[in-house]
Amino acid sequence: MAVIQKELFERITDRIGKQADLITTAVDNAAKESGVDGFEGLFYDTITLSDDYDVESSLGSAFRALDKGLTAFAVLSGTGVLRNAVLALDNHLRTQKYSSINDYCSGLDATVCKEFAAYYKLIKGIDIDNNYISDREAEL
């Protein structure tokens, strides 16, 4: 099996980076618009409006947790298809004898957009070397 070509790698990482950035913006905007401030927010308040003890006791804690935990970090770092795509790309590079994404970028003079670099760090906890981060505008 051949290693992914530089042009395809850059296109895919740009697209993943742009999508992660758009998801972050959407989740952050939704939280701002709903007035969620990390405490009883829109979901919890809606459940308590029922004024039904059984409904509140059954659903209250889950919806309070949703108000507190619905963050871009939670959405993007959990298990999901976007995360799985990054892990698959990383695994592909390792199976092709590259020790890391930095090693691949160094060997092919490839770069990633800053949005992908931030998302990669979120998922893997590893910084992509600044030499391999481009200022180009990521596109879908």
**Distance of alpha carbon 104 from alpha carbon 122, whole angstroms:** 19
pLDDT tier at 52, thresholds 50, 70, 90: confident
pLDDT tens, residue by residue, 74-118: 888 876 889 999 999 999 999 999 999 999 999 999 999 999 999
Percent of the chain with pLDDT over 70: 92
What is the phi/psi pair of residue 35, to 5°?
Answer: 80, 10
Within a domain: 4 = no
Identify the domain containing residue 75 by its residue range: 12-134
* Predicted TM-score of the model (pTM): 0.80
The answer to whether position 73 is within a domain reads yes
Examine residue 7 and state whether it is found in any structural domain, yes or no.
Answer: no
Q: Is 125 helix (H, G, I), strand (E, B) or coil?
A: coil
pLDDT in tens, 60-72: 888 888 777 778 8
CA dist 65 and 56 (Å) reads 13
Report if residue 2 sits inside a domain.
Answer: no
The answer as to whether 78 is a domain residue is yes
What pLDDT sits at residue 69?
78
CA 101 to centroid of chain Cα atoms = 17
Residue at 3 is within a domain: no
Q: Does residue 1 belong to any structural domain of this protein? A: no
Quote the number of domains for the chain. Answer: 1
Give counts: helices (H), strands (E), the chain.
7, 2
